[in-house]
Amino acid sequence: MSPEALAKLSEAQQEFFVTTPVWATAAFAIAVNAGALGSLFLLLRKSWAVPMLAVSLAAIIVQDIDAYLLRDAYGILGINSIIIPSMVLIIGVAVLLYSRAVKAKHWLN
């Protein structure tokens, strides 16, 4: 987030974003990169898609634990903070289930 965008937020919201722990940021990076790799492997019909997408989903859950259980994102950021993370979680579960299904059908090698 740019300093200009951060300055437009309330003090509590600014503190929420500035004090994000390193491990939560690492979980975000792992979720994005493992998800991208898993999706690429799925397109290439490689069996590595399943473990990569599982790692991505686990990292999504770790990131959400930080935001919603440990730091109360809903209380600080409001209802809008639930919509996108919920969709990310739903899509992560759906893609993992799909990859497991196509692996069971032996479409991945």
What does each of the 109 residues of the chain score in pLDDT, given as a tens digit? 788 888 888 888 888 888 889 999 999 999 999 999 999 999 999 999 999 999 999 999 999 999 888 888 888 888 888 898 999 999 999 999 999 999 999 998 8
Listed residue (7, 21, 27) closest to 89, CA to CA: 27
Residue 40 belongs to a domain:
yes
Name the domain count of the chain: 1
Q: End-to-end CA distance of the chain: give it in Å, rounded.
A: 40
Q: What is the pTM of this model?
A: 0.87
Q: Look up residue 108 and give its amino acid.
A: L
| pLDDT confidence of residue 16 | 82
Residue 109 belongs to a domain:
no
Provide the residue range defining the domain that includes 70.
3-104
- Residues for the chain: how many in total? 109
User: Could you tell me where the DSSP H helices lie in the chain?
Assistant: 3-7, 11-18, 22-43, 49-64, 73-77, 80-104
Residue 48 belongs to a domain:
yes
